Amino acid sequence: MELTSSCLEQIEKLNPEINAFITVSELALDEARKADELRSNNQELPLLGIPIALKDIYMTKGLRTTAASNVLRDYIPQYDATVVRKLKEAGAVILGKTNLDAWAHGSSGENSDFGPTKNPWDREYYVPGGSSSGSAAAVAANLCAAATGTDAGGSIRLPASFTNTVGLKPTYGLVSRYGIIAMASSLDSIGHFTKTVEDSALFLNITAGNDPFDATTTNKELPDYTKDLHKGIRGLKIGIPKEYLAMGIDKKIKENFDNALRQIEELGAEIIEISLPHTKYAVACYYIIQPSEVSSNLARYDGIRFGNDRSYFGDEAVRRIILGTFTLSAGYYEAYYKKAMQVRTLIKRDFEQVFNPPAGGVDAIIAPVSPTPPWKLGEKLDNPLRMYLSDIFTTTANLAGIPGLSVPSGFINGLPAGFQILGPQFSEKLLFQIGHAFEQTQERKILDI
């Protein structure tokens, strides 16, 4: 209850400026009170009384869910997403719903019909990264203990690296997509933001697992992700993709990344240069496949069963629907959509080869998340292609379906930076182990506002 009240106070104080929340739940204090009662009855639940926020693309029964679009401005879902149900059952208190680029289309948080979210580290000028902009900002500014996100092309990892938070994009199919408004169904990964790697592992223990309502979820038996966190990384083989560093990367980001690399080497890991030759095609491949799936998923919004009609779509949704409809249309399907699905195979194979143990493969890969530090509000808004190119290092993981963990690695001119750890499908436990070991070498900087 104390935790929840202090978060609600912080929201009241800072949300008008940061715009991280679209809706604050009126039930939060009641839920916190109930959690206290359960606790005094010695009930043990992993998240009992922990105040969290949900990206406003997760359906919440009785609590408005907008996808940050005017199409769903007044929509109140009749059921909970599977992940929301699991989090509630684990005892979490739902503080409210966070801002995003409408329908999760964007890399800056500015495409929201509810106004842009500001980066808590510079609330005047800078974007927090997107599309899970509000969740990242809310965790960074201590408006909540943890928050959920979705990552179809970097929408968790990018904002995590811009806000000094830990962001997990799980393996495709590890966490249920049921009840989360679909963006690109073959790419959408359901993850979260936390303050530490350990919290991230704890959160995944709750959200991961098979769901009969999502046929793409795995049947594998899953580990306790918090186990072996402290095992260290001595002897692990960590790959550095040479293509990532050759592709027009900001000097300061390169410096920051090199520092992280040195730390990892000092922790006893072996650093190996690797090659992912099809990396340079990832953005083109992604921005064909993703809008194609978007145009199909957004076709259902006709304003009949719920929501407003199609004239309420914002510019970015219109662009992606038109682009996707075009690349799927007769005469262009082979040249665009089919070709992109073939290139996707090559990108996926690149990873399979570098992770292949008999061929002396690496255990994991580390790489920068964003090619530049956070940019200014408005800077890329009129140039969609430039905005898309911010996803150059993140889209590959979604195309291949592998997990990625974004970990803070210090600051550049007062703004946060981070790097990502990528591993084979279902290697989250190893990613946490590496991330945690690195985190212990860093001075923890908490935003004091």
Partner 1 sequence: MKIDVKRVAKLANLELDDEELPKFEKQLEEILSYFDKLKEVNIKDVEITSQVTGLENVIREDKAAPSLSQEEALSQTKSQHNGLFKVPGILENE
- The residues carrying an active-site annotation are 55, 131, 155
CA separation for the pair 65, 17 (Å, rounded): 22
Q: Which residues have C-beta within 8 Å of that of residue 123, sequence separation ≥ 6?
A: 17, 18
Q: Which is nearer to partner 1, 368 or 384 (CB)?
A: 384
Close Cβ partners of 156 (under 8 Å, ≥ 6 residues apart): 132, 136, 149, 150, 167, 168, 169, 189, 191, 192, 193, 406
Site for partner 1 contains 172 (CB under 8 A): yes
336 makes contact with partner 1 (CB under 8 A): yes
Give me the least distance between CB of 303 and partner 1, in Å please: 8
Q: How many CB atoms lie within 10 A of CB 383?
A: 10
In the bound state with partner 1, the residue whose beta carbon lies nearer, of 195 and 278, is 278
Listing DSSP states for 232-286 in one string gives --TT-EEEEEHHHHHS---HHHHHHHHHHHHHHHHTTPEEEEE--TTGGGHHHHH
Task: Report the nearest approach of partner 1 to the CB of residue 187 (Å).
Answer: 9
The CB-side HSE value for 343 (13 A sphere, CA atoms) comes to 22
Stretch that binds partner 1, among 83-91, 114-122, 283-291, 371-379 (CB under 8 A): 283-291
* Residue 246 makes contact with partner 1 by CB under 8 A: no
Which position among 108, 112, 117, 295 is part of the footprint of partner 1 (CB under 8 A)? 295
Does residue 426 bind partner 1 (CB under 8 A)?
no
CB of 344 to partner 1, least distance (A): 4
Nearer to partner 1, 246 or 318 (CB): 318
Please count the residues of this chain forming the interface with partner 1, following the rule CB under 8 A: 57
Q: What binding mask, one character per residue, do residues 358-387 give for partner 1 by CB under 8 A, x or -? A: -------------------------xxx--
Choose, by CB under 8 A, the member of 388, 393, 419, 438 that binds partner 1: 388
Q: Which residues does 108 contact at the CB level (< 8 Å), separation at least 6?
A: 101, 116, 127, 128, 129, 130, 133, 375, 377, 380, 381, 387, 390
From 81-89, 252-260, 266-274, 301-309, span contacting partner 1 (CB under 8 A): 301-309
215 interacts with partner 1 by CB under 8 A: yes
Integer Cα distance of 349 and 76 in angstroms: 42
Residue in the block written with tokens 């990552």: 151
Candidates 103-111, 248-256, 300-308, 354-362 — which segment interacts with partner 1 by CB under 8 A? 300-308
Are 164 and 445 a contacting pair, CB within 8 Å?
yes
Which residues face 355 on adjacent strands?
Answer: none
Closest alpha carbon to 374 in 40, 127, 107, 117 = 127
Rounded Cα distance, 61 and 77, in Å = 5
Q: Which stretch binds partner 1 (CB under 8 A): 3-11, 175-183, 321-329, 373-381?
A: 321-329
440 contributes a contact to partner 1 by CB under 8 A: no
Taking CB under 8 A as the criterion, which residues in 100-119 touch partner 1?
none
For partner 1, the binding residues (CB under 8 A) are 75-76, 78-79, 172-173, 186, 212, 215-216, 218, 278, 280-281, 283-285, 287-288, 295, 299, 302-307, 310-311, 313, 318-319, 321-323, 325-326, 329, 336, 338-346, 348, 383-385, 388, 399-401, 425
